[in-house]
Structure 1
Amino acid sequence: MPDPAPVTILLVEDDEVIRRSVAMALERYGYDVVVAGDGLSGLELFREGRFDLLLLDVMLPGLDGIGLCRRIRETGTDPILMMSARGDSLDVVSGLEAGADDYVVKPVDTSVLVARIRSLLRRATFVPPAREEPASEPGPADRLVFGDLTVLPAALEVYRDGEEIALAPTELRLLLEFAAHPGVVLNRQTLLRNVWDYGWDGDSRVVDLCVQRLRKKVGADRIETVRGFGYKLRR
């Protein structure tokens, strides 16, 4: 069934056949799709418009998908889904390190692509569960403090040394998952299920690389690696 809310996707793909087929497939699911055939055109469209999600091919003429992702991340936290023709490890790692939230390998089945898009949109529009009764004063759950790091789950805000940190949707969901279980080791499969919304044991590289990006923003020693098991947030 089509999604009820209008969602606009920026698709940047240089192959005209793939670009048209992907755009038509997404439009059948109710999405509005704006297309670009190269990285520089995609960057210009991004700067001029407002998009709910960006779908970027890795191999683009001029400014490639990795470079485009980096340029977008300089000013925006918009959800980014990368497409790689080969599924090459270097492509995947480079895309995720550049700031992408997730990736798919082409050719990709439309149902799989739409499932990834919906999952990423849910992360981007995450709303914390409401309390049964409003608290008269801020309680422990309103402000979680871990050293110089302060997390406000209800406000979806994160501060380090008193300054707000801009986190991409997946980075924020990942931090909230850690903050909800301080000191508890969370394995990659748990994080894939709870953060990426994968119903299967997906590629754990997305977890590892998102943790790396998150560490750069919240402090390298704030999230600890427990070898052979997973990660935990230091109390």
Structure 2
Amino acid sequence: MSQQEDDLRSLAKIMDMLRGISLILVVANIYWFCQSFIGGWRFHSETMKVLGNLNEAGGLFNNPWNAKWWALLLLALSCFGTKGVKNEKIKWVHIWLFLSIGSVLFFLNWWILSLGWTVIYIVTTATGFVCLLLGGVWMSRLLKNNMMDDRFNDENESFQQETRLMENEYSINLPTRFYYKRRWNKGWINVVNPFRASIVLGTPGSGKSYAVVNNFIKQMIEKGYSAYIYDFKSV
């Protein structure tokens, strides 16, 4: 257990590091393309020298999207390695809404730079990044919880059963309850022609008499059957 806890802590640190690098790339993108607005601080020349070296090595700032794509990749990796508690109020529609808004604000705001609206570029980029972060974290939590909801594969082992009541003057109809498509459903076992013989199999004490035989006898009496009942117990 101690080794597992250490592994989880190490994984959490790696995810935090990836998210931190993603945030640094976003900040670097803003700094590079908004120099006219934030370029007057004390260490501007040193910062631009570092960013210039990064740009020469990987072309991160050749256009407004390169650094953002790398930031999105690292952000996605950090989100899918994050554990958390599922929020019942969060649905897929909320996730897709935040991801859509985040993508538009984060990637489709390059034209703002040509107009010189650096403050709006900073706000839209930061807001888009936060929306993508929230959408990614929620998606990760929802996917992980959905995969753990059916540990014993009950969903794939369930199937549609008869839900219609098919009744005639001779039929025996037994009410049932079955699980299908993540909910309990009411159904019927319809013995529409009991004269063709019926057999009930089950281990001793499994409830054959209570669930089936007693209902058969009750409904047969109600419908005016004549019956010969022989209960044989083998030793």
- TM-score category, normalised to shorter length: under 0.3
Question: Per residue, is there more helix in 1 or in 2?
Answer: 2
TM-score by length of 2: 0.24
TM-score by length of 1: 0.24
Question: Per residue, is there more strand in 1 or in 2?
Answer: 1
